Structure 1
Amino acid sequence: MRRAALILLVLLVVALAVLAQVMDVPDGAALRSWVDGAGWAAPFVFTGVCALGTAVFFPKPVLATAAGLLFGIGWGSALAVAGFTAGAMIAFAVARGLGRDTVKGWLGERLRVIETVFARRGVEATLVIRLLPVVPFTLANYGAGVTAVKARDFALGTALGLVPSTVLAAVLGDALSDLGSPRSLVALAIWGVLAVAGVWWGRNLITAAARAA
């Protein structure tokens, strides 16, 4: 039964990833139309779209950039972070329920080190994966669900880790008409610095865990 649940989880993730690739992604005009049509409920609608979109592999940068376009940098970033965190927890809960018990019995020595990092320093480990642009956001959410990270640590690490990238995407969205502007160039440079910091931080966490093992 546990193996069947894990297979179901893998099939679900693959199906959602494929669906995200073949579906039509709405552009900024379509998203603005949806939000305008929602009236006073627009913030709640957008947050819900972010949550559901995150859980089903909808491109997060599209939503984060749209947040800046539709609501401005401050308000848009707050709504996007709330929605992304909620969506991350949906994916986390699904993976935790379907795959955790099976995966923990298959861990090799190398993976046990990573498991130790997530178990003991869950907030930091989650922050690291949020700073790495090469790690797909939604895939990381499902992957974290089968690790030993505590749900509250994952939620906190996700919320904190989302702030820099979401604000930067909102800045780019707010200045979408002028991507060559100094503000946009600075935002992209900061994004690169954060990625390098994430790699360095992650290596330190794994090295420390390996030495302690």
Structure 2
Amino acid sequence: MSASLAIALEKIQNLGVWAPIAFICIYIFAALCLIPGSLLTLGAGVLFGVVFGSIYAFVGATLGAIAAFLVGRYLARGWVAQQIEGHAKFNAVDQAVAREGLKIVLLTRLSPAFPFVLLNYVFGITQVSLRDYGLGCLGMLPPTIMYVYIGSLLGDLATLATKTTGRSRSPAELIFYSVGLVATVVVTIYVTQVAQKALDGISEGGTDVSAKR
């Protein structure tokens, strides 16, 4: 599947003004098919750069998450319930969502302990509203920016390796990229740790309940 996504990214590169729309559509499709979007997010950095890559990847991830949420809520409730049956972590999320929907969605989006693609469907069978779920997707922004930044850096390095730019990067530019990458990673790790501690506290403070069916 990773090879297929890589081929898709190569084709998107040649679509000109339609490239962002195609990229977002593929991201939505990947989310619905439970395909992790990390490769696509890295690809956004290579194709569009940090700023626009972050925007397109975040829009694609958010729309894909909302689409999966709606499918889980209205079309596949039984299947989703079977996938998470017996998982205490998801049961704790369900209980916490009943009290603080927006906060829990935001924290789980920041935490790497919860699989992004499955969590989209899981929230569909909880009590969280579509509004709170959509706003909570803002929690995907820090890791999205980090992956896009890494992708843009890898893209530049690949360009340097093939010598298609006609010039090499100066030491100052390389230092800037390196410092920016380290700063982005550090901030993302810090945010995810804070989110995980908050989720651990919520989980310890309540009792497990079965996911709503």
TM-score by length of 2: 0.74
Using the TM superposition, give the Cα deviation of residue 113 of structure 1 relative to its aligned residue in structure 2, in angstroms.
5.8
SS of residue in 2 equivalent to 1:24:
helix
Using the TM superposition, give the Cα deviation of residue 78 of structure 1 relative to its aligned residue in structure 2, in angstroms.
0.9
Contact 2:106/2:139, CA 8 A, preserved across alignment: yes
SS of residue in 2 equivalent to 1:181:
helix
User: Counterpart of 1:165?
Assistant: 143
1:60 maps to 2:57: no
User: Counterpart of 1:91?
Assistant: 68
In 2, Cα distance between the equivalents of 1:163 and 1:111?
A: 22
Using the TM superposition, give the Cα deviation of residue 93 of structure 1 relative to its aligned residue in structure 2, in angstroms.
1.3
Q: Residue type of the partner of 2:13?
A: D
- Aligned partner of 1:194 among 169, 185, 191: 191
Q: Residue type of the partner of 2:136?
A: G
Contact 1:50/1:83, CA 8 A, preserved across alignment: yes
Long gaps (5+) in structure 1: 1-19
Contact 1:172/1:187, CA 8 A, preserved across alignment: no
Contact 2:5/2:40, CA 8 A, preserved across alignment: no
User: Counterpart of 2:160?
Assistant: none
Using the TM superposition, give the Cα deviation of residue 111 of structure 1 relative to its aligned residue in structure 2, in angstroms.
7.4
User: Counterpart of 1:46?
Assistant: 23
1:155 maps to 2:134: yes
Contact 2:13/2:47, CA 8 A, preserved across alignment: no
Long gaps (5+) in structure 2: 158-173, 208-213
Contact 1:125/1:205, CA 8 A, preserved across alignment: no
User: Counterpart of 1:181?
Assistant: 178
Q: Which of the pair has more CA radius of gyration?
A: 2
In 2, Cα distance between the equivalents of 1:34 and 1:114?
A: 39
User: Counterpart of 1:203?
Assistant: 200
- Aligned partner of 2:59 among 82, 100, 107: 82
Contact 1:31/1:66, CA 8 A, preserved across alignment: no
1:142 maps to 2:127: no
Q: Residue type of the partner of 2:62?
A: T
Using the TM superposition, give the Cα deviation of residue 206 of structure 1 relative to its aligned residue in structure 2, in angstroms.
4.0
Using the TM superposition, give the Cα deviation of residue 65 of structure 1 relative to its aligned residue in structure 2, in angstroms.
1.0
User: What does residue range 87-126 of structure 1 map to in structure 2 within 5 Å?
Assistant: 87-97=64-74, 98-99=76-77, 114-126=93-105
SS of residue in 2 equivalent to 1:154:
helix
Q: Tell me the C-alpha RMSD between the 2 structures.
A: 3.0
Q: Residue type of the partner of 1:165?
A: P
Using the TM superposition, give the Cα deviation of residue 151 of structure 1 relative to its aligned residue in structure 2, in angstroms.
1.4
User: Counterpart of 2:166?
Assistant: none
